[in-house]
Chain A
Amino acid sequence: MTPIVGNISLNLAFGFSVLSIIILSIFLRSGDYRLYLTGRRLSIGVSLLSIWATIVLGYQLIRSNFEVDYVAHYTSRETPLLYKISALWAGQAGSLLFWVFILSLFALTVIFQNKNTHKNLMPWVIIIITAVELFFLVLINFVTNPFLPVEADIIVANGLGLNPLLQNLTMAIHPPLLYLGYVGFTIPFAFGISALINKDTSSLWIQSVRRWSLMTWLFLSCGIILGGWWAYQELGWGGYWAWDPVENASLMPWLTATAFVHSIVIQEKKNMLRVWNMVLIILTFTLCIFGTFLTRSGIMSSVHSFATSSLGPLFLGFVFLILIFSISLLLFRLPIMKSEKKMESFSSRESGFLFNNVIFVVMCFAVFWGTIFPVLTEAVRGVKITVGAPFFNQINTPLGMVLLLLTGVGPLLAWRRTSRQSIIRNFALPASAGLLTAILLLLLNLAGYVVISFSLSVFVLIAMVSEFYRGIKARMSRFGENPITALITIISKNRSRYGGYIVHLGIVFMFVGFTGNAFNEEKEFGIKVGQEEHVGIYRIKLSGLSEAERPNHYAFIANLRITDSQGNFIVNLRPEKRIYNHRNPDPNRRQPHSELDIYSTMIKDIYSVFSGVDKENQTAFLKIMINPLVNWVWIGGYILIFGTMIALWPRKDEV
């Protein structure tokens, strides 16, 4: 298996994809079923060849074939096996190949799943998926080829190795998860566009993509949360979200996708919002491509720009092509898409969903605006105005509060119209609990968003718990079940509803965690061995400095003893200052890296960074942060995953 095999596979995949699209188009005109089968098989061939090429590249990485430029750039002999494999998505060419690899897996699944269903939709679904594959195959064949050999006049004895920041288990799985999310939305997009082209106004396509969308949404959510977790554990600035352009790139499709997974429920149940759902899936898919572009083109300088490249114009061209094609198609079909049904009342579940959708989309626009603002101001005024986290926080905090409110309000509303009695019955308890919390917090001298956020969290929490309680009580009185059987039955009888409520609970946990940011404390200082420093209510004592030599780095270790103000022992923390490649004679090649240490509880995290060492004076320079409630964000993430899994789990009658 030489690199040539991979190269030839990619060439063939490119040719097959062009052929497949042409033959399927001829089939649509002539109706000759044999042409459909040929086109379909060619498309399967594209996927298989792309998967094969990815395996070949993986093999080159594992056996460290430094004749391949990509392998020499991102791995070295010393790179552990896991990170040799993860180098597949560490660089630009590899990650684009990996994109096609995932799309190929999805494409095969869709093609085989729908072998005998959706006969009218499938030809266009296959064409659209293959066209997306074609775009990426053009990039990896002609612009940034992962199998390119190193320049002919040198022999590489050892590769450059993988960035130590990326040598971390989280960082090995964060990109694939995000990619599963980005790539996955190709499928609902393909079904939606195919339904449009076929003038299919039924909700059939929605039913067939509901689970795909939810699964993809879950991958995207996990990818984003994991990215934040990595930033918190590794980067040492003490936060998990910086509103960096690349983070925004993943948040934008997440926002529109969240709107989409909500509003397709309305189309499924009421056959309303058909145009709106099309708009959402077009936006989501476009933002996924745009996200890949932002991450990979290096147009925005950020921590994520591990690569800079010439892909920009091609990606932007593709984004515009998708937008122009889908929007004009939608406009063309508008007359048959309009729904006859109307919204009946503001106090209906439909209207709750609609408002949640609007807030998600304007929030996405706000993030988009802030992300491209520097580019805009530079073009219009000639000055590049950079936009920092305070800008995003200021805009998105009130929007987030409205969303949090709707998280609780939406599920309490009935379809069509909620009667006054049931509004009073459903809202009385959660609303008074929220108000009570607000009063208590105001008495504790807290103010502003903190009070709003915590009281809304209590409101949503009580609202969700009382929904479960009502369901359980109804079954207990009707069927005489015990509470636990009743709980299990209501969930299994209505997985998407109760799974959704659990996700909402996860969101509450996350908001509590976000609100904790308002109480962060931070201190940077130098300290001699034996001395003590106060940070917040804690005392930090440097009890010693030690050193250790390990296989690929040298470490200075600060031994910190943390006590509270009364002197009660809490924990020992050992943040490290590491020097990678410490044996390299050229000091410029030695790579310092701060390995931080965190003491984590439900109430707060004590976060320590060892930023510098003065050995002669036995002094360590430290950054200590007290970050309240951070754990709630991660726990919220777990609850979110759990709830989505419940919603995704197939019903018995589906098996």
Chain B
Amino acid sequence: MKKNQIFNILIFLIGGVLLIFIILPILKILSNLLSTNIFFFFKDSELMNSILMTIYASLIATVFGIFGGIPLGYILANYDFPLKKTVEAFIDIPVVIPHTAAGIALLTVFGRNAVLGKFFSFFGIKFVNEVPGIILAMTYVSVPFLINHVKEGFKKVDKELEAVSRTLGASKFTTFMKVSLPLVKGDIISGSIMMWARGISEFGAIVILAYNPKVISTLIYDRFESFGLRSSAPSVAFLLLLIITVFVVLRVITDRKK
């Protein structure tokens, strides 16, 4: 009994310290809002444009992610092929390497003089210091979250259900659309939220590929560098409040749908 109590105290203590470590900076930065008129931020057009552009770019990146991530997640969950482990490791690379390195890697492929950069510029799409560059960087570093979520979702789908669907007269495509996909809806939604949120917070890859127009992370960095902590902290607080609100609302909606 005594040992159990010590165990309980110990895990709550250690877990609690880590939780405080996570929460404390957030609360501290949010406290800046107490001494500021929140409507002041709505009048800061540079900040508002940056926030809206960040949300928009991350949303487009997520749409691209869903479009490609669903088939890729399905393949990884359902097929065995040579070098599958290597492919899975490659998918995780954008998450584990420094994001500035990811930005440089993207620049070598999508830069003004790079192969794909030249190819897309032929259609009027440029990446360096352009919104498509921001979307590209966001997609690159955050799509692994979506792919892995979707892959795990498809792995959980009972293969027997897909088999039954086929015997009932559904083709492979119809089975995918009518059985497999609806069953991983929750995983797709949560993976998309993760990707979208990760895209909003991206800095390293974006700053290399498209410093301008400024997304919120580069704007905060810019203000911090130019005007110091007192100037950048309220903007960060406002951004945090906005993101937390959107995040909570999305979670509530998706949990209800599940």
**A, B assembled together:** no
**Residues of B that sit less than 8 Å from A by CB:** none
